[in-house]
Structure 1
Amino acid sequence: MRFGMFDVIRWHESMSGEETLENTLEQVEYADKLGIQDIWLGEHHFSRHGILSGIFSYMGAVAARTKQARIGTSIVILPFHNPVQVAEEAATIDIISGGRFNLGVGAGYQAQEFHGMGVDITQSRVMFKEYLEVLQKCWEEGYLNYSGEYVNIENIWVIPKPIQKPGPPIYIAVSTSPESVDYAASQAIPILVGGPTTTLGQTPRVVQMWHERMEHYGHPHEHIDLPVSASVYVAPTMEEAENDIKGLEDKINEE
């Protein structure tokens, strides 16, 4: 088992954006020194619940401020990005970090984000699958050629190439949908589990489902540890912890 931290970097008016982002970098640096093994950060837009809109820029700072922990995106919302640029950015972060980068990706789900980005949410899953295929091809040797519904590329040389081969480990964020779990397993890609899945108590079922589908597709899976996120509050006693968190979730989730 590995221990990590996950943050979407929430913001409150009591702090500036600068203070909020720097505070998280300090937490990341401290976590790395304490021996935390994995650091995951998530992209969001247009909400106080997550202000990390420039996720790759920030991951560069995280790479520079850490020495040991693996660092990863949880997630990059793939339909919002040019997949070639995602491949380039991921390769760059992999190089800067010395091969410590994990690329977590997802299709996205928040309507206001798709509206603000001018992307049709009804096409997000189709776009996601095509973009994921393109970015993986970018890390291959030689020139990239691709003809799809959303991406058409002819004879381009994508550099730099990542340190890790064939590329940084990819993870796909899923909810409780059997279709999304099945797709990840069909591609032999590990899943990221958390958020509503954990809150609803569905994590064991989703993890088991992924292992079963990996078996169905003939992919080795017993050796793979899946990242699972859950909220944790630490206090000297259970009673103090329960008293401290009363009403806390409601406050955190206020818009």
Structure 2
Amino acid sequence: MKFGITFFPAVGPDDQSADKYFDDALDLAVYADERGFYHVKTVEHYFFPYGGYSPDPVPFLSAVAARTRSIRIATGAVIPAFSHPIQLAGRLAVLDNLSHGRLDVGFGRAFLPDEFAAFGIILDESRARFDDGVRIVERLWTEEDVVEDGPFHRFGPVTLLPRPYQRPGPPVFVATATSPASAEQAGLHGRGLQAVPAIAGPEGFTEILAAYRRGWESGGRPSGTENVQVSLGAFVANDRDEAHKLGRLDEQLYSDKIAQATKSWATKRSTDYPGYENLAHVGALLHFDKRVRDDHILVGTVDDVRRQLARLGESYGTDITVSLTIHSGNLPAEVAERTLDYFADKIAPEFAD
């Protein structure tokens, strides 16, 4: 197992100023680099306290790249449907050069109806726009005189500058919350997988992971060489009750924020998002104690978390990267730093092999 960190802001101006959130997150990213963590990752969301302090991962990750030396930087994820592929490919190529080849690019479809409405994008075009956007970005990274004449974008011939630092381009991941079909396609195309097991639940995530590995092997790749990142909340302390108290508070505030952002699913339907109408109630369904029992939140003492990770390894395999969601902005940054220390000193070494 490898261990990285994920920033998913769940605050708005009434909770914490944006500059304070970014100052703390940047300091934590630098600290994670110093402590030997594998990557730092952040999201793309708009308008709501649920992720809205990160409408574009690239500026923050550029600041991380400038202040760090070893840690990989990752988008988790950028949304092709909301950007022109020439702009997106160019921004990411610059970031890959700024970091001297430390970039991993996670692409996502997005899933909040209000975001699609604001960009004037039809929900039922989500999958097609995602596939088209990722394909074009990869072409722009690797080809010259690119010409596109598709349903969403028409341009060319163009040759992107700068070219990515990594050749043929940064590693590509697909972010999926509940879709085994998307996971299988990601594996088939040789892309990595970014997932949040707490959203899918134990059975759902097991199905997603199996579909991804099935696609990976169907694409002619050997088992055990997949690239899987899973995001899990993490709260570690010497005192179990303290860790649970902090984790419960942070996760409840996160649940409140996602409930606000997803309530429009009560009246929206899309063939590209079957079953997503259930997300209208997702905030009420994210029970802290159940997610702890499912090992989808890592919480407690060092020994507690070691046992959780051992069970996860048995269920999902040990060839995964665990992205610790450590700083929503609702708890002091010192809480996250303490968790990083426990992982670096006492937990990660136990799972390094």
Same fold (TM over 0.5): yes
Match of 2:44 in 1: 43
Residue 187 of structure 2 corresponds to residue 167 of structure 1: no
How many Å separate the matches in 2 of 1:175 and 1:251? Answer: 20
Query: What pairs up with 1:1-255 in 2 under 5 angstroms?
Result: 1-12=1-12, 13-50=14-51, 51-194=53-196, 196-197=198-199, 199-200=201-202, 202-255=204-257
RMSD over aligned Cα atoms: 1.8
How many Å separate the matches in 2 of 1:43 and 1:184? Answer: 20
How many Å separate the matches in 2 of 1:200 and 1:5? Answer: 22
CA contact (8 A) 2:58 2:91 kept: yes
Unpaired runs of at least 5, structure 1:
none
Letter in 1 for 2:103: F
Give how far 1:23 is off. 1.6
SS at match of 1:167: coil
SS at match of 1:230: strand
CA contact (8 A) 1:78 1:108 kept: no
Identity %: 26
How many Å separate the matches in 2 of 1:231 and 1:201? Answer: 19
Letter in 1 for 2:106: G
Give how far 1:227 is off. 0.8
How many Å separate the matches in 1 of 2:198 and 2:126? Answer: 19
CA contact (8 A) 1:8 1:43 kept: no
Q: TM-score, normalised by structure 1?
A: 0.93
Q: CA-to-partner distance for each residue in 1:52-79, whole Å, 9 max, x for gaps?
A: 1132222211211211100010000110
How many Å separate the matches in 2 of 1:83 and 1:211? Answer: 28
Q: Which has the higher helix share?
A: 2
SS at match of 2:230: coil
SS at match of 1:71: strand
* 1:23/1:143 CA distance change after superposition, 3 Å: same
Give how far 1:141 is off. 3.7
* 1:201/1:240 CA distance change after superposition, 3 Å: farther
Q: TM-score, normalised by structure 2?
A: 0.68
Moved more, 139-148 or 68-77: 139-148
Give how far 1:243 is off. 3.9
* 1:131/1:200 CA distance change after superposition, 3 Å: same
How many Å separate the matches in 1 of 2:30 and 2:92? Answer: 20
Give how far 1:237 is off. 3.3
Give how far 1:248 is off. 4.0
How many Å separate the matches in 2 of 1:200 and 1:46? Answer: 30
How many Å separate the matches in 2 of 1:14 and 1:176? Answer: 30
CA contact (8 A) 1:198 1:229 kept: no
Letter in 2 for 1:188: G
Letter in 2 for 1:16: S
Unpaired runs of at least 5, structure 2:
258-353
* 1:196/1:126 CA distance change after superposition, 3 Å: farther
Moved more, 49-58 or 214-223: 214-223
Matched residues, number: 255
Q: CA-to-partner distance for each residue in 1:26-58, whole Å, 9 max, x for gaps?
A: 111111111111111111101112111132222
* 1:221/1:202 CA distance change after superposition, 3 Å: same
